[in-house]
Chain A
Amino acid sequence: MRKVSLLRSGAFRFAILIAAIFAIGTGVLLAQVERSVNRYATEVASDSVAAEIAVLRGEDRAAGRTQLIQSITLREQAVREHQIRYLLLDSQAHRLAGSIPAAEARVGSYDLVLPAIDRGNESDAATVSLMTLGVRLDDGAILVVGSDTSELRDLRQTLGLSTMEFGIGISLLALIGGLVVGTIFLRRLDRVNHAVGRIMQGSLSERLPAIGMSAEFDELSTNLNRMLDRIESLMAGLRQVSTDIAHDLRTPLTRLRQRLEDMKEGLGGSEPVIEEQIETAIAQTDSILAIFRALLRISLLEAGAGKQRFAEVDLSEMLDRVFHAYLPVAEDAHQVLSADIEPAVKVRGDAELLTQAVTNLIENALVHTPTGSHICLSVGRRAGGVALTVADDGPGIPAEERAKVLRRFYRLDVSRHSPGAGLGLAIVSAIAALHEAQISLADNCPGLRVEITFRNLANLV
C-alpha cells in the first residue's frame, strides 16, 4: 500500500472541506445579521425623522414661524444620544435656521455625509452620516430634518470585524478537528487496506477489521467480509471441481482407453471389432460427458446462476407431474410409488431445477432400494415453511454418512456397483442451496427420508 502524504490525504481534504463550509456559513451569517441590523436602524432613524418633522410642522402652524425658528435653534444645540440636525429655508431660499447646508434643501429622503460640528464631545469622527427628510411647509418654506446614522455605521463595522474573527476562529477549529477525525479515520482505513493487501497476496481466510467511527462503516466492513466469505467458498468450490475432475474422471477415462486398445488389438485379429464394442465405447464417452455436464451444472448453481429467472413455481403441480412420469417406471421396477400432495403449494424458484431435484431423489430411491420397496413423495405446508419430501423404506443411509452423501462423487460402499457417478445428491443439494432451502436426510425407520424445506419467507408465495 502506498503511503499518502498529509496534504494529499483524504483527511486533509476532508478538513479543508469542513473549514470551507464553516467559513461560508459564517459569511452568510454576517451578511444576514448586517442586513437585519441595517433594516432595523434605518427604520428607527426614518421614524424619528418623520416624528420630528410632524412635531415641527405642528409648532409652525400653531405658534408661527418665529416659534419654529426658535425651536429649531434650541434643538440644534441640545446634546442628545442621537444627533439630529435641521434646516429651514423660507420660500425665497433664505436660511432661517439650522446647520445643514442650504444646498441640501430638497424635498424627500436622502443620505448625506457632512462635516461634524465640533462640540468637543465624544465623537472624534470627522464626518457624520445623516439620513434626511425634507418637506415643503404651507407657505412654500422648506424644512429638512436629518438624523445621524454614524453610530449605525460604527456598529456595522464592529459587527463585521467580530464576525470575521469569529469565522476565522471557527474555520481554524474545523480544520484542526477535521484533520484529527480524518487522520483517525484514515488510520483505520489503512488497517483495512493492509488486510486487503494480505488477502490479495493469498491469505484468503484473512478478514477486514471493523472500521469503527459509525455503524454504517462497520456494516460496510461486515458486508465486505461476507463478500469475501462467498468468494472464498466459490473458490473452494472451483478447486473442488478441478480436483474432482482430475480424480474421478480418471477411472472412466482409463476404462474407455482400455476398451479402445482392446478394439485396436482386435482389428485384423481373430476377434473382429464388433459394433457392440464401439457402442459401449460411445456409451462410456457419453457417461464421462454427463459427469462433466453435472459438475459444470453444480458449479454454476453454486455460483448462483439462474436466480434471476426465479418465478412462482407450483410445487404441487410439479410433483404431481413427476409422480405420474415415474409411476410406470416404479411399477416396472416392482416398487411402489405413492404421493401425498397438498394442493397449490407454491414457492419462488426455478421450476426446471426443482423438477430435476425431485427427479434425482426419486431416481436415487429407485436405484438404491430393493424390489417391493415403497417410495413416497409429498409436498405440504409446515409451520413457517414448505416441505418437499421423498421417503423410501429401503436400507437407508447410516447417520454418520448422511452429510457426506451430499458431496460430489461420494458413494456408499454398498452402492459402489450400482449405476451413477455420485453426483445426483450433490446436484439436489446445490439446487436446494440456490433456493435457500434446507436439505435434510433422516431415518425413515426404516429407509431414507430426504426433505427439502423452504423457510425463506421471501421465497414463499
Chain B
Amino acid sequence: MKLLLLEDDPDTREHVSKILRAAGHVIDACANGPDAIFLGTTNSYAVLILDRMVPGVDGLSVLKALRSAGNLTPAIFLTAMDNVDDRVEGLETGADDYLVKPFAGSELLARVAALGRRPPIADTATILLVADLEVDLLKRTVTRAGRRIDLQQQEYKLLEYLMRHAGEIVTRTMLLENVWSFHFDPGTNLIESHMSRLRAKVDRGFDRDLIHTVRNAGYRLDAES
C-alpha cells in the first residue's frame, strides 16, 4: 500500500518507515504539516499516518484541512498524548484510529492493514463467511460445517470482530478497544482467556483451525494457516 507518514522526529520517522517498508508498503515521509497537506492533496494514499505534535501545522490541523477538502483517506494518529480527551478530539476530527506512542511495530502494521483494506466489508453485510464458519449477523447465530455453535455474548462479539477482519492480524489492543471498549491495558490475560474459550467452541472437533496465534503480534482468523 502507498502510505503517507508525517513525523517530525527523524529517528522515529526512520524507524516507522523501515517497519512499514519491510511489510511491503511504499512510504512518503515528511516532517512538517504543510508538506503533509501538499502530499496529501497531490497524491493518492491508502492510509495517512499522522503524528499529532509536529512543528508548524500540527497533525490535527493537517487532517482537518484534508478532510475539509473532501479527502476521505483513512487516517491514524500517532501520538504521545494519551489522555482520553486527546483521543476523543482526534477521532472527532475525522481520524479512523489512534495509536499511542510508544507502540510495537506489529501493532502499527496491523492497524494500518485494517484501515487500508479495500474494499471494506460493508456494514450492511448480514452474513460473514470464512471457510465453513458462518456468522449470521441478523439472527446472531454461528454455525460451522452446518453445526450450530452456541457462544456467550462477548465470545460472539470477539468472533464477529475476527470475522470482519478475516485474513488480517488483529492485535490484543485492537481487540480490547473494539470488543470490550477497554482503552487501557488491563494487565491480565483477558484476551487469552476469552480466545481459548472461543477456540474450544469454534475450532475443537473440526479438521482444521481457523483462529491462529501470530507470535508477538496477535491473532488472525483465516481459512489458510
- A interface list, Cβ under 8 A from B: 279, 286, 289-290, 293, 296-297, 300, 305-306, 309, 321, 324-326, 328-329, 331-332, 350, 352-353, 355-356, 359, 363, 366-367, 419-420
The answer on a CB contact under 8 Å between B189 and A329 is: yes
From B83, B88, B180, B196, give the contact of A297 (CB < 8 A): B83
Name which residue of chain A comes closest to B189, CB basis.
Answer: A329
Chain B residues contacting A356 (CB-CB under 8 Å) are 182, 184
From B181, B187, B190, give the contact of A420 (CB < 8 A): B187
* Nearest Cβ on chain B to A394's Cβ, whole angstroms: 16
* Nearest Cβ on chain B to A299's Cβ, whole angstroms: 10
Per-position 1/0 for B68-102, Cβ under 8 A of A: 00000000000000111100100000000000001
Chain A residues contacting B21 (CB-CB under 8 Å) are none
List 23 A–B pairs whose Cβ atoms lie within 8 Å, in order of A's numbering: A279-B216, A293-B82, A296-B83, A300-B83, A306-B83, A306-B85, A309-B85, A309-B88, A324-B152, A325-B154, A325-B194, A328-B193, A328-B194, A328-B197, A332-B192, A332-B196, A350-B84, A352-B181, A352-B183, A359-B184, A359-B186, A366-B188, A420-B187
The answer to the question of B153 belonging to the interface, with a C-beta cut-off of 8 Å to chain A, is: yes
Give residues 167-221 of B contacting A (CB, 8 Å).
Answer: 180-190, 192-194, 196-197, 216
* Nearest Cβ on chain B to A429's Cβ, whole angstroms: 16
User: Complex: how many Å from CA A350 to CA B182?
Assistant: 13
From A293, A296, A305, A332, give the contact of B193 (CB < 8 A): A332
Chain B residues contacting A353 (CB-CB under 8 Å) are 84
User: Complex: how many Å from CA A329 to CA B82?
Assistant: 27
- B interface list, Cβ under 8 A from A: 82-85, 88, 102, 152-154, 180-190, 192-194, 196-197, 216
A-B pairs, 4 with minimum CB distance = A328-B193, A329-B193, A332-B193, A356-B184
The answer on a CB contact under 8 Å between A305 and B85 is: yes
User: Complex: how many Å from CA A359 to CA B176?
Assistant: 13
* Nearest Cβ on chain A to B101's Cβ, whole angstroms: 9
* Nearest Cβ on chain B to A58's Cβ, whole angstroms: 95
The answer on a CB contact under 8 Å between A363 and B83 is: no
- Given known A325-B180, A332-B193, contact A363–B187 (CB-CB < 8 A): yes
The answer on a CB contact under 8 Å between B188 and A325 is: no
Chain B residues contacting A355 (CB-CB under 8 Å) are 181-182
User: Complex: how many Å from CA A321 to CA B194?
Assistant: 13
- Given known A309-B84, A352-B84, A355-B182, contact A324–B153 (CB-CB < 8 A): yes
Name which residue of chain B comes closest to A293, CB basis.
Answer: B82
Chain B residues contacting A309 (CB-CB under 8 Å) are 84-85, 88
Name which residue of chain A comes closest to B87, CB basis.
Answer: A352
* Nearest Cβ on chain B to A122's Cβ, whole angstroms: 90
Name which residue of chain A comes closest to B185, CB basis.
Answer: A290
In terms of DSSP, what is the predominant structure of the interface of chain A? helix
* Nearest Cβ on chain B to A233's Cβ, whole angstroms: 20
The answer on a CB contact under 8 Å between B193 and A331 is: yes
Name which residue of chain B comes closest to A356, CB basis.
Answer: B184
Name which residue of chain B comes closest to A328, CB basis.
Answer: B193
User: Complex: how many Å from CA A58 to CA B183?
Assistant: 108
Chain A residues contacting B193 (CB-CB under 8 Å) are 328-329, 331-332
Chain A residues contacting B188 (CB-CB under 8 Å) are 329, 363, 366-367
User: Complex: how many Å from CA A279 to CA B216?
Assistant: 10
From B152, B181, B182, B190, give the contact of A329 (CB < 8 A): B190
From B84, B182, B197, give the contact of A306 (CB < 8 A): B84
User: Complex: how many Å from CA A324 to CA B182?
Assistant: 13
* Nearest Cβ on chain B to A49's Cβ, whole angstroms: 84
The answer on a CB contact under 8 Å between A325 and B183 is: no
* Nearest Cβ on chain A to B78's Cβ, whole angstroms: 15
Name which residue of chain B comes closest to A300, CB basis.
Answer: B83
Most buried by B among A328, A352, A353, A355: A328
* Nearest Cβ on chain B to A294's Cβ, whole angstroms: 9
User: Complex: how many Å from CA A286 to CA B106?
Assistant: 14
User: Complex: how many Å from CA A290 to CA B83?
Assistant: 13
* Nearest Cβ on chain A to B56's Cβ, whole angstroms: 26
* Nearest Cβ on chain B to A222's Cβ, whole angstroms: 31
Chain A residues contacting B182 (CB-CB under 8 Å) are 325, 355-356, 359
User: Complex: how many Å from CA A356 to CA B187?
Assistant: 11
Chain A residues contacting B88 (CB-CB under 8 Å) are 309
User: Complex: how many Å from CA A415 to CA B154?
Assistant: 32
Chain A residues contacting B183 (CB-CB under 8 Å) are 352
User: Complex: how many Å from CA A286 to CA B188?
Assistant: 15
* Nearest Cβ on chain A to B15's Cβ, whole angstroms: 14
Most buried by B among A329, A353, A367: A329
Chain A residues contacting B153 (CB-CB under 8 Å) are 324
* Nearest Cβ on chain A to B213's Cβ, whole angstroms: 16
User: Complex: how many Å from CA A328 to CA B151?
Assistant: 13
Q: A289-B102, A324-B152 are in contact. List 10 more A-B contacts (CB 8 A).
A: A286-B102, A306-B83, A306-B84, A309-B88, A321-B181, A324-B153, A329-B190, A329-B193, A331-B193, A419-B187
Chain B residues contacting A279 (CB-CB under 8 Å) are 216
User: Complex: how many Å from CA A332 to CA B188?
Assistant: 11
User: Complex: how many Å from CA A309 to CA B197?
Assistant: 36
Chain A residues contacting B180 (CB-CB under 8 Å) are 321, 325
Name which residue of chain B comes closest to A325, CB basis.
Answer: B180
The answer on a CB contact under 8 Å between A324 and B83 is: no
* Nearest Cβ on chain A to B140's Cβ, whole angstroms: 16
Chain B residues contacting A297 (CB-CB under 8 Å) are 82-83
Chain B residues contacting A300 (CB-CB under 8 Å) are 83
Name which residue of chain A comes closest to B102, CB basis.
Answer: A289
User: Complex: how many Å from CA A293 to CA B189?
Assistant: 20
Chain B residues contacting A363 (CB-CB under 8 Å) are 186-188
Chain A residues contacting B192 (CB-CB under 8 Å) are 332
Name which residue of chain A comes closest to B179, CB basis.
Answer: A325
Chain A residues contacting B196 (CB-CB under 8 Å) are 328, 332
User: Complex: how many Å from CA A200 to CA B59?
Assistant: 38
Name which residue of chain A comes closest to B187, CB basis.
Answer: A363
User: Complex: how many Å from CA A331 to CA B193?
Assistant: 9
User: Complex: how many Å from CA A326 to CA B189?
Assistant: 10
Name which residue of chain B comes closest to A301, CB basis.
Answer: B83
* Nearest Cβ on chain B to A158's Cβ, whole angstroms: 75
